[in-house]
Chain A
Amino acid sequence: MQQTLTPARVMRALAPLAWIGPAVALIGVVVVWPVVVMIQSSFLRISRFGVVQGANGADNYTKLFAEPDFGGVMARSLVWVVAVVTITVLISLGLAQLFDQRFPGRRLARWALIAPWAASVLMTAIIFKWMLDPEVGLINMVLRDLGLLDALGGAGADPLGNAATAMPWLIFVAVFVSVPFTTYALLAGLSAIPADVYEAAKIDGASRFRTYWSVTLPLLRPALVVATLINVMNVFNSFPIIWAMTHGQPGYSTATSTIFMYILKGSDIGESAAMSVVNFGMVIVLTVIFLKVSKWKTEVS
C-alpha cells in the first residue's frame, strides 16, 4: 500500500536514528570501513611507506600462497587454536566443578582466579618471558634445583630460543590467560542448573561420575559451546603472547597467521592485506557458526 510521505511520518521513521545513529556511525567507521579498506588494499600494490602504486590484481595473493612459510604458518595456527582451546576447556571444566563446591574462603579463591583475565595479556606474557630468562629466570632456577637442568645460561635454559620447546610454552601461557574466563562462564552455567535434577539423580542411585556425565554435562552444554566459541575467536586473533615472548622466532617457527600478517606489514602492505583477508574469511566462518549457535533470533524478537 502506498503511503503518503507527510513530514510527521518522515520524522517518526527517522526518530530511531537520533538514538542509534551514533552507534551505527561508530561501528561503520571503526569496524566496517577497515574491512573494506583491507579488501581493497589486498588488490593494490602499496609501498612499504604506504604509498599506493597502482592495481596489482591477484598478485598479492599469488605471492602470499607462494611464500615458503605460508603452509607452515597456517598449519601452526590450526594447531595453536585447537591445542589452546581444548586444553583450556578441559582444565576449566575441572576448575569450575571445584570452585562450585562450598568451602570457606571460596569468594577470595575465586577472586584470585580473576587476575590473568583482568591483567593485560601482554603483561602476563612479559612476566613469563622474564621467568624463562636463560640466566636468572625463576622457572629455570626451579628446574635446576630439581636436577632437571644442568646449569643456567646455556641453550638448555633457553626454552623460548628453541622451536621445539618454545611452542609448548606459548600454548601454556595462552591456556593460563584463557582459563579464568572459561571457568567463570562454566561456573555461571553450573549455577543455572536447578538443584532438584541432582536430587532426582541421587534418588535414582546414580554414581557421582554417572551424574556428571548424564546430568551436569548435557545441561552445561550451552555455556560450554559459547565459552568454547569465544575462546576460539580470542585464541585465533591472539597476538601479544607470541609477539612479546618470541616475535614468531626462531625463523617463523612460532609464527601464527596473525603474527605472519604483522611481519608482512613491515615489508609488503598489499601482501599483508591479503593475509588479513584470508584470516578474516576464517573469522567470518567462525562468526556464522557463533550466530547459528547463539540463536539470536529468539533473543532479539
Chain B
Amino acid sequence: MTLTQSAPAARPKAVRPPAPARRLPSARTALVAGSAYLIAFVFLFPYLVMILTALRPQEELREATYLPQTFAWSNFANFWTGGLAQNLGVTLQVAAGSTLLVLLVALPAAYYTARHEFRGRTAFMVLVLITQMFQPTAMLVGIYREFYQFGLVDSVWSLILVNSGFNLAFAVWILHAYFSSIPRELEEAAFIDGNGRFGALFRVTLPLAMPGVVTALIFTFIAAWNEFVVALTLTTTPANQPLTVALNSFIGQYQVDWQNLFAGSVIATIPVIILFALIERKVVGGLTAGSIK
C-alpha cells in the first residue's frame, strides 16, 4: 500500500449506487441483519453486565439474581467520595500528559519526514515501524530498572514517558500519511500569498491534517488511559496508581466492595468506548500502516 492510501482523507468518497426504493427487506437481508444484531449484542453483553452490577445495592451483590431488585445510583456518588476518585485523577494526568507529549514530538517528525528527503530518513521510519511492534510487557524488567535508576518509580512522569514512547509510532505513521496526502503546492501557494513558512504550515497544512491529529490524539489518550502492566510495575503507593491498577488491587482484598469496583469500571470504560467510535475508521489504517498492499 502506498502511504497515501492509509490516509482516508486522501481517498475519494466511495461512490455508492443510488439507494433503491424502500421495500420490505428480503428474507436473506433479514437473516443477515438478525445475526449481526445478535453478534453485536454478544459483544456488548459484558459491558451491560458491568453497568447492571454497578447499579446493584451492596446487600444484593452476593445474591444470585439475574437483575438487581432495586437500582442504587448512589454507587456512583460513592465512587467520587471514595478513594478511587484520586486514582481517576492519576489516570487523567497520565492520559492527558502522554497525549500532549506524543503530539509535541510526533507532529514535527511526521511533517518533516513527509516533506523532506534527508539522510537517515529511511532509518528513522524503520525505527518507528519497529517500535510499533514492541510492547512494554516484553521489556518490563528493563523499564523498571531504568526508571528505578532515574529515581522515577512511583511517579506520574515515568508513566507519561513510557506511554508516550510506546504510542509514538502510531501517531507518527498516521500523521505522516496525512501530511503526505496534502499537496505541497497548497502550502507553497499560501507561502507565496505572504504567509511565512510557519504561517503556511499552521494556516493551511495543519488544518487539513486535523482528522489525522484528532485520531492520533484520541488513540494515544485511550491507550494511556487503559494501560495496566507498566503502571502495575512502576507504581507502589495506592494514591499514585491509575484507576486500572487500583481497580485490579480491589480483587485480591478480602472484603470487596464490588459495586464500587464496577462503578469505577463504568466510569473508566464507557467514555473511551464512545471516544473510540469517533475514530474507528481511521485507526485500522494507522495500525496496519505500511502493510496492506
Q: Which residues of A contact B (CB under 8 A)?
A: 13, 15-16, 18-20, 22-24, 26-27, 29-31, 33-39, 41, 50, 95, 98-99, 101-106, 108-124, 126-131, 135-136, 138, 141, 152, 176, 179-181, 184-185, 187-189, 191-192, 222-223, 225-227, 230, 233-234, 237-240, 243-244, 258, 261-262, 265, 269, 272-273, 276, 279-280, 283, 286-287, 290-291, 293-296, 299-301
11 further A-B contacts with Cβ under 8 Å, apart from A123-B50, A294-B129, are A109-B37, A109-B40, A118-B276, A122-B228, A123-B247, A123-B265, A126-B251, A126-B265, A141-B66, A262-B233, A279-B138
Q: Are B285 and A38 within 8 A (Cβ)?
A: no
Nearest-neighbor residue (CB-CB) of A289 within chain B: B133
B287: chain A residues at CB < 8 Å are 181, 185, 230
B79 located at the interface, meaning its Cβ lies under 8 Å from any Cβ of chain A in the complex: no
Q: Are A19 and B133 within 8 A (Cβ)?
A: no
Q: Are A130 and B53 within 8 A (Cβ)?
A: yes
Of B158-166, B190-198, B202-210, the stretch lying at the interface with chain A is B158-166
Least Cβ–Cβ distance between B261 and chain A, in angstroms: 7
Number of A-B contacts (CB under 8 A): 300
Closest 4 CB pairs of A and B: A30-B165, A38-B142, A34-B142, A118-B276
Within 8 A of A (CB), among B130-155: 130-131, 133-135, 137-146, 148-149
B77 located at the interface, meaning its Cβ lies under 8 Å from any Cβ of chain A in the complex: no
Q: Are B251 and A295 within 8 A (Cβ)?
A: no
Q: Are A296 and B168 within 8 A (Cβ)?
A: no
B112 located at the interface, meaning its Cβ lies under 8 Å from any Cβ of chain A in the complex: yes
Nearest-neighbor residue (CB-CB) of B293 within chain A: A222
In the bound assembly, the distance between CA atoms of A13 and B116 in angstroms comes to: 12
Of B81-89, B181-189, B266-274, the stretch lying at the interface with chain A is B266-274
Least Cβ–Cβ distance between A255 and chain B, in angstroms: 14
A234: chain B residues at CB < 8 Å are 135
